[in-house]
Amino acid sequence: MKTLILYSSHDGQTKKIAEFLTALLEGEVIVDALREDYNIEAFDRVIIGASIRYGHFCKMLDRFVMSNHENLSQKSAVFFGVNLTARKEGKDNPETNVYVRKFLQRTKWQPKLSAVFAGALLYPRYKWFDRVMIQFIMKITGGETDTSKEIEYTDWEKVKVFAQRINKLDKSSKFS
């Protein structure tokens, strides 16, 4: 099993999750940044992880999925979204997380599995504008507003369970 994990990450948390998955997945795993022109032909399994910034996934993600839709549908393709909204119970799965739900509806892509993970709040690393805007968003959503803090909301046990589900998915598809 040859797996490609592509990630789109603004502040590095999605990349960190993608790299964490490599140790948990069976077979050969390659991790790389998402590019529109990435050739996925040589891979049995493709996992795409993407983060939300100001309410949107990067536009390249939509273009990649649209141009590779048929190929993704023929492979064991999986998706995970990363956002701070997922820190809240009830907003942490693909059916209830508005960003992932709308993305999958818009692109009409039906990955074999999908998940949502909470990201990280890294105030000291943000540029001034981002720090102020994210602080404002966190204030209106009941989140942390202390700009001296860095908080990792990612539930690593949930990521482990996702990896186990991916491994089981591939085993069950061999017998279908």
Asked if residue 79 and residue 145 are part of one domain, the reply reads no
> What is the number of structural domains in the chain?
2
Asked if residue 124 and residue 101 are part of one domain, the reply reads no
Asked if residue 145 and residue 78 are part of one domain, the reply reads no
Asked if residue 61 and residue 129 are part of one domain, the reply reads no
Asked if residue 101 and residue 28 are part of one domain, the reply reads yes
pTM for the predicted model, two decimal places: 0.92
List the chain residues with pLDDT less than 50: 174-176
Asked if residue 132 and residue 45 are part of one domain, the reply reads no
Domain holding 138, by residue range, is: 120-153
- Identity at 130, one-letter amino acid code: D
pLDDT digits (tens, 9 = 90+) for 8-44: 999 999 999 999 999 999 999 999 999 999 999 999 9
Q: How many helices (H) and strands (E) does the chain have?
A: 5, 7
Asked if residue 124 and residue 82 are part of one domain, the reply reads no
Spatial CB neighbours of 63, under 8 Å, sequence gap ≥ 6: 36
| Residue 21 and residue 159 in contact, taking contact as beta carbons nearer than 8 Å | yes
Asked if residue 141 and residue 56 are part of one domain, the reply reads no
